[in-house]
Structure 1
Amino acid sequence: MRKRMGAIAGLLIALMGLFAMAPASGQTSETEYAAALDGLFAELAAAPDPAAAQGISDDIWRLWMEPPDAELAARMASTLELRWRGDVAGLIATLDAVIAEYPDYAEAYNQRATVNFMLGKYDESLADIAATLEREPRHFGALAGRALILKERGEYEQALETMRAALKIHPFLGERALFPELSEDAIEA
């Protein structure tokens, strides 16, 4: 089980690398930002294959990490540097400050949930996942994280239910492989 969780942690680290990709451009207003996310989620739900879904989910992650508020976007960009330097304490402190100043910004909670997951602080991670999903119910990354924690805790039925919810949003999540009964044709509509 520890070996599998190590592999999962490696997958999460690789996913976190997506955040360093080129920034999204043309974000000028909250309305345009929300419309862009809505369009991407519609595309993701209809993605024909894993490659197409990956490209769309990369675009969603970019938008999540680069909100229209310039100050907030700069603060989140600074978290990337802290992550690459391995400054976990600085990363958590920065995310705590972002959450205090921007309490409605879902991705700060998700980022802190990911860090806490990596540190094995599952209760803290689950609390931040709940906060993420309260603000962005379509957050497939947060749902997948919740499923992984529940599975690790032996709460398999809840983990399976959560992964099904995540797959309704992102039908090609890699974490699906951890749940053998979730073949592509087994997802309930």
Structure 2
Amino acid sequence: MKKLLFAAAFVASPVIADCPAPEDHSMELEGLFDAARAATNDRAGREISGKMWQVWLRAPNEAAQEVLNNGLKRRDSYDFAGALKEFDRLASYCPTYAEGFNQRAYIHFLREDYAKALVDLDKALMLSPTHVPAQSGRALTLMNLGRIDEARAQLLEALKNNPWLSERFLLADGGPLALPGKDI
């Protein structure tokens, strides 16, 4: 009976069918990047940043969206182990969906496993080179690994598409990613 119940639960799992390729949102994102570059204040920049997040958080299908949403809920309630399981499922089910790797990287980052975070961030950026959250997350990860020059370069790359990232302040005079030779 236990085997039958396990088999039934596995079949009902939302990740049995193949995950479709993620939609190409590059034109939509390019418009949002242009809008962010043109924004004249922090409030407008944050609003556009939120719209960018809405694009990245659009999973390829309902099953993937359900797994992503479950992982986000677990993350938001500080159930990092549970969130990691969900994002593992998402990355396995949708290996071409960058956000699955970005979210899993964030959990690794929160757990201070920077080496694993970097692997997932590199995968996310391989899939989606202009994924600004993965770019800024990679900058923070590199900074925590003491790779300051790489972190600075990565953050500058992220800021090209969204100059309103809160991480921009890391580049300010006296900040951990400030240009060398500038003192407080």
Smaller-chain TM-score bracket: 0.7 to 0.9
How far did 1:119 drift? 0.4
- 1:40-81 deviation digits (Å, cap 9, x = unpaired): 233223322221111111111122112352221122111122
Given the alignment, which residue of 55, 58, 62 partners 1:63? 55
Given the alignment, which residue of 56, 64, 75 partners 1:72? 64
AA at the equivalent of 2:105? A
- 1:74-102 deviation digits (Å, cap 9, x = unpaired): 22111122123322222111111111110
The aligned residue for residue 177 of structure 1 is 169
AA at the equivalent of 2:107? V
Q: CA separation in 2, counterparts of 1:53 and 1:182?
A: 24
Q: CA separation in 2, counterparts of 1:119 and 1:137?
A: 25
Q: CA separation in 2, counterparts of 1:168 and 1:30?
A: 23
Cα 1:47–1:86, aligned 2, differ >3 Å: closer, same or farther?
A: same
**Contact 2:36–2:164 (CA<8 Å) still a contact in 1?**
no
AA at the equivalent of 1:30? E
TM-score by length of 2: 0.75
AA at the equivalent of 2:76? W
How far did 1:181 drift? 4.8
Give runs of aligned pairs for residues 115-130 of structure 1, distance below 5 A.
115-130=107-122
Unmatched 5+ stretches in structure 2:
1-21, 180-184
Count residues with an aligned counterpart.
Answer: 155
Unmatched 5+ stretches in structure 1:
1-28
The aligned residue for residue 112 of structure 1 is 104
The aligned residue for residue 23 of structure 2 is 30
Q: Which runs of 4+ in 1 moved over 4 A?
A: none
Given the alignment, which residue of 90, 97, 101 partners 2:93? 101
Cα 1:86–1:154, aligned 2, differ >3 Å: closer, same or farther?
A: closer
How far did 1:134 drift? 0.8
TM-score by length of 1: 0.73
Cα 1:101–1:46, aligned 2, differ >3 Å: closer, same or farther?
A: same
How far did 1:159 drift? 1.3
Q: Per residue, is there more helix in 1 or in 2?
A: 1
Given the alignment, which residue of 145, 148, 155 partners 1:156? 148
Taking only aligned residues, the RMSD between alpha carbons, in angstroms, comes to 2.3
**Contact 2:109–2:117 (CA<8 Å) still a contact in 1?**
yes
User: What's the % identity of the aligned pairs?
Assistant: 32
How far did 1:162 drift? 1.0
The aligned residue for residue 86 of structure 1 is 78
